[in-house]
Amino acid sequence: MRNLAVIMADNDAHQHPRHMMYAKMENLIRCMQFSENAIPVRSQKLFLTTVPDAFAGQDLIDWLYTKLQTEERLHASHLANLLCQYGYLFPVSDQKNLVVKDDNTLFRFQTPYFWPSNNWKPDHVDYAIYLAKRTLRNKQRHGLEDFEQVAFNKLQKMLAHKWDFIFMQAEEQFKQSKERKKADKIIVDSQEKAFWRVQRPPPGQTRCLDEAVTRHIKPTLKKKTVETCQREIAFLQRSQKRPRLKISKAAESILLFSEQYYSHDPFLSAVPPSNPWLSDDTLWWELNTPLVDTPSELRIRRWGFSLEELLKDPTGIAEFEEFLKKEFSQENLHFWLACEEIKYLPKSLVTERVQAIYSAFLAPGAPHEVNVDGKTYELTQKAIENPDRFTFDAAQSHIFLLMKKDSYQRYMRSEDYRNLLETAALQPNARKGRFFNFGSTKSKKSPQPSPGYVRRRGSEISDSSTSDAAPVLGVKGHHSYSTGNLQSLHQASLRGDLSKKRSSVDSKRTTSGTVLPKRIEKLDLCNSPSGGGGGQTSKDTLEVPSAHGSSEESEENPCMALAVPSKMNVVAPWETA
């Protein structure tokens, strides 16, 4: 059994993951010791003690620099430090760190018994005996460091059941050390200290002997034949033809994507018009419902990123369908949507739905026949024999490319898309990248009313169908008598009278760039009797003088007079039934 254990240990040593590296380092150490041009090893003086078979760190670096022909002396110094940290050298001094300096510090070669190639794995008992032995010696020279004291306390608690045995071993080794000569004491102490520095380094230092998780299953190596070599060559040839993307190109595309979607991310930019989780304003929910009559400008601009973004939005699909009806190609969109729907149907309905789609869009003489090429039609015919959720994948991809390259591009340049942007819903409180308005030096302005519904051109809702204008505009009674609220209420009250004049001023904008709901206030002010025509002033309006207070200027520009309703027409929230 003993011989079998030795054989298994030898096999493990040869299969060690770092065996080749250890072999090269050990060959280098043998050349330093036994070659013709070896390192000069002789007895050296250390204070009043003579240390046999020692060499200086400067001699070691010189030998590596000349024999290995390194480019710089710094490279030779780095290699010497690695040899020391792996445990092939040790300093003969009270040096705490395993560092080889380019000076006269004395070193010795470590005994081959302690080389790392022997798979040394000391347990906690050996380390506890070493620390306990040092506590029995002179504390000024052999005292424990902070991290060693912490480890000693942990081991004392962990090995409390065998602590008497550990302390007894430490005392016996301490008695034997007293019988040695002074030079032998220094060598053995330095050798033992360096060994435990390699095995248990201080915190913050890397352990060079650390390895990955050991594998308990050893793979069996098969002999390579001609067939296995041919398969390996074919695999490598296929891997060379595989397209690869550079990291710089991938990073550039990620940056472009982040810049494009920055304003659409509520975590990176402000939430227009206001954050519904932090305020009582519910306009954000109304503007971002799946189907709205007037989508927000931010939502419409996102449709221009790609056709995929347009088809993700139900409102975008409805608007795109209206455009395709004008071009008599709406069957492409209907076919694509039907193919998407079939992917989420129950399995029992898939076969029936496949036949319905084929008879409606692809069969000869179908009522809504789509235009696909011959190759795609043949693939679809073969797939219909065994219908499943992905029967129309080839035809769906073909139709998607047609819409992407033709219909989608024309829609982005069409008047319908431009009109949507012009009549987009207002977002008055939107600020880019700013959540709070602390430290602003600008004077406060009256807030514009937030429209809950803005009728755009082409809507099915007519003006005559809305007798009460306040619910349509989304304006409710306010208890604050600010100019903006009074003006919005006055606009709501005059909406029915000015419906005929709405079309002439539908495209006008304010100076700040925001679109007011149908802009009826300017038309009302310019045509009001108080504008300078010399007539009587309305009872429900108050005349506000111009900035210069000149009566002549107000006559030249009658639009400077703002129509403000009186407080008698305002209904407080608590007065409504």
* pLDDT per position as a tens digit, 366-425: 999 999 999 999 999 999 999 999 999 999 999 999 999 999 999 999 999 999 988 886
User: Are residues 528 and 541 in contact, defined by beta-carbon separation less than 8 angstroms?
Assistant: yes
Checking if the pLDDT of 426 tops 60, the result is no
**Helix orientation angle between 393-402 and 374-384, rounded to the nearest 10 degrees:** 150
The answer to whether the beta carbons of residues 318 and 334 sit under 8 Å apart is no
Contact 268, 262 (CB under 8 A): yes
Count of CB atoms within 10 A of residue 170's CB?
19
SS3 476: coil
pLDDT for the residue 17: 62
The larger pLDDT score, comparing residue 541 to residue 307, is at 307
pLDDT of residue 48: 79
Q: How far apart are CA 277 and CA 396, in angstroms?
A: 40
Q: Which residue has the tokens 């993307």?
A: 245
Residue 463: its pLDDT value, please? 40
- Please give the radius of gyration of the chain, using alpha carbons only, rounded to the nearest integer: 44
CA distances from 263 to 268, 429, 434, 442 (A): 7, 14, 12, 24
Q: How is residue 456 annotated by DSSP?
A: P
pLDDT number for residue 525: 33
- Secondary structure class of 453 (helix, strand, coil): coil
Once rounded to an integer, what is the mean pLDDT over residues 64-87? 89
Gap between the Cα atoms of 52 and 183, Å rounded: 8
pLDDT band at 218 (very low <50, low <70, confident <90, very high): low
Give the SS3 label for residue 564. strand
Helix, strand or coil, per DSSP, at residue 279? coil
Q: How far is CA 559 from the centre of its chain?
A: 54
- The yes or no reply on domain 283-422 and CATH 1.10.167.10 is yes
Q: CB of 43 within 8 A of CB of 63?
A: no
In the structure, what pLDDT confidence band is assigned to residue 93 with cuts at 50, 70 and 90?
A: confident
Instruction: Please give the biggest Cα pair distance in the chain.
Output: 127
Predicted local distance difference test score (pLDDT) of residue 509: 38
357-370 in b/e form (b: 16+ CB < 10 A) is bbebbbeeeeeeeb
- Compute the distance between CA of residue 338 and CA of residue 366 in angstroms, rounded to an integer: 15
Local confidence band at 445 (pLDDT 50, 70, 90 cut-offs): very low
pLDDT score at 216: 61
Q: Is the pTM of this model over 0.75?
A: no
Strand partners, 296: 425
Burial profile 251-290: b = 16 or more Cβ within 10 angstroms, e = fewer = eeeeeeeeeeeebeeeeebbbbbbeeeeeeeebbebbeee
The answer, yes or no, to whether residue 71 has pLDDT greater than 60, is yes
Cβ(460)–Cβ(535) below 8 Å:
no
CA–CA dist 147, 135 (Å, integer):
14
List pLDDT tens digits, range 27-50: 999 998 888 888 888 888 887 788
Q: Which of 425, 430, 523 is nearest to 474 (CA)?
A: 425
Q: What is the mean pLDDT of residues 194-207?
A: 85
The topology under which CATH files domain 1-120 is: Arc Repressor Mutant, subunit A (1.10.10)
238-252, 275-289, 316-330 — most confident range: 316-330
β-bridge mates for residue 542, sequence order: 564
Backbone torsion region of residue 131, taken as left when φ is above 0, otherwise alpha when ψ lies between -120 and 50, otherwise beta:
alpha
**CA dihedral in degrees (527, 532, 535, 537; nearest 10)?**
80
Q: With b meaning 16 or more CB within 10 Å and e meaning fewer, what string describes 506-526?
A: beeeeeeeebbbbbbbebbbe
- What is the 3-state secondary structure of 319-337? HHHHHHHHCCCHHHHHHHH
Determine contact, residues 101/84, Cβ cutoff 8 Å.
no
Query: Within 13 Å, how many C-alpha atoms sit on residue 51's CB side?
Result: 23
The tokens describing 426, both together, are 């207002």
Domain spans of the chain, in order of start: 1-120, 121-205, 283-422, 469-575
Nearest to 517, CA basis, from 459, 479, 474: 474
Tokens read off for 267: 């975590």
**567 pLDDT more than 70:** no
Distance CA 450, CA 473 (A): 9
User: What is residue 296's DSSP assignment?
Assistant: B
In the sheet that holds 42-46, the strands lie side by side as 42-46, 49-56, 106-109, 89-91
CATH fold, domain 121-205, is 1.10.1240
Distance CA 326, CA 333 (A): 13
Query: How do residues 100-147 score in pLDDT, each as one tens digit?
Result: 888 888 999 988 888 888 877 788 899 999 999 888 887 777 788 888
pLDDT for the residue numbered 145: 87
The residue type of 411 is Y
pLDDT band at 276 (very low <50, low <70, confident <90, very high): confident
Sign of CA dihedral 278, 279, 284, 289: positive
Which residues 6+ apart lie within 8 Å of 50 measured at CB? Answer: 43, 44, 183
What's at 529, amino acid-wise?
P
**Residue of higher predicted confidence among 324 and 513:** 324
Q: What is the mean pLDDT of residues 455-484?
A: 37
CA nearest to 288, candidates 427, 413, 153: 427
Tokens of 230: 């041919």
State the Cα–Cα distance between residues 68 and 313, nearest whole angstrom: 69
